[in-house]
Amino acid sequence: MAEEKPENECEKLGRLQTRGELGRAIAAIVNGYSTLDLRRMQWNFSGSVKGIEPSYKKKLEKMITGHLHETWENIRLMNQQGSFSQMKDLLPENNREFWEMVALKCSDKDGSTRIRFLKFLLAGFCIFVKKIPPHPVGMPFPGGDSVQFIEGIYYCPVREKANDVDSALCPFCPALQTPEVGYLKPPVKGSTHRKEEYLKKTFDFHHYNG
């Protein structure tokens, strides 16, 4: 059976209502890919960062490769275990916008479209089904900051700094922007009171600085 075009698949994914429906639909599409396709995506990523500093490149490759493989396995396992049938909560409205963006980015007729679509499928699964960032916790960014998970909240140093890129995943990411230098860091293992205090001081500092 011939595969559906990514644009057609995206239209279907954008019409779904619940996290479970989306999880099952993504799993069905991902099932049509092989582990070789996953490796090709990893090779493509390695090629895209070949010009950066070697030690940073090595760390980035290891983290992204592990994250892609873990997400791939998680989709298949959850589908086999019937986990998606328990996910009845509704998807956010921007789920449709996400797949509309993906359709535009996967409309080319070159050979890379299929692998590019797989990348977006894995990212969409993280964002909308698992409700986690598409980049793994600990992933480093230039400047030294990384994706963090503190007291049940994800923080990303570039969450609000890539919205001008039309293909960026950032506008859909569930993470919050990591506070700028000068803000207090979220208290590790802090009480509810300490967490509220952190948020208040962050808010006050932001408005004090205009």
Rounded CA-CA distance 2/141 in Å is 40
pLDDT digits (tens, 9 = 90+) for 83-128: 999 999 999 999 999 999 999 999 877 778 999 999 999 999 999 9
Which residues, in sequence order, are bridge partners of residue 156?
177
Whether 187 and 198 have beta carbons less than 8 Å apart is answered as yes
Q: How far apart are CA 159 and CA 155, in angstroms?
A: 8
How many DSSP H helices and E strands does the chain contain? 7, 3
Q: What is the DSSP string of 168-190?
A: -SGGG--PEEPPPBTBPPPPTT-
Q: Output the six-digit token pair for 168.
A: 């960026």
pLDDT of 198 reads 44
Q: Global pTM?
A: 0.81
Q: How many CA atoms lie within 13 A of 120 on its CB side?
A: 27
Q: Higher confidence at residue 203 or residue 151? A: 151
Cβ partners under 8 Å of residue 90, min gap 6: 17, 18, 19
The residues pairing with 18 across neighbouring beta strands, listed in sequence order, are 90
Q: Where are the domains of the chain?
A: 1-130
Which tens digits make up the pLDDT trace of 121-172?
A: 999 999 999 999 999 999 887 777 889 999 999 999 888 866 555 457 889 9
Higher pLDDT, 178 or 75: 75
Mean of the pLDDT values across residues 48-56? 84
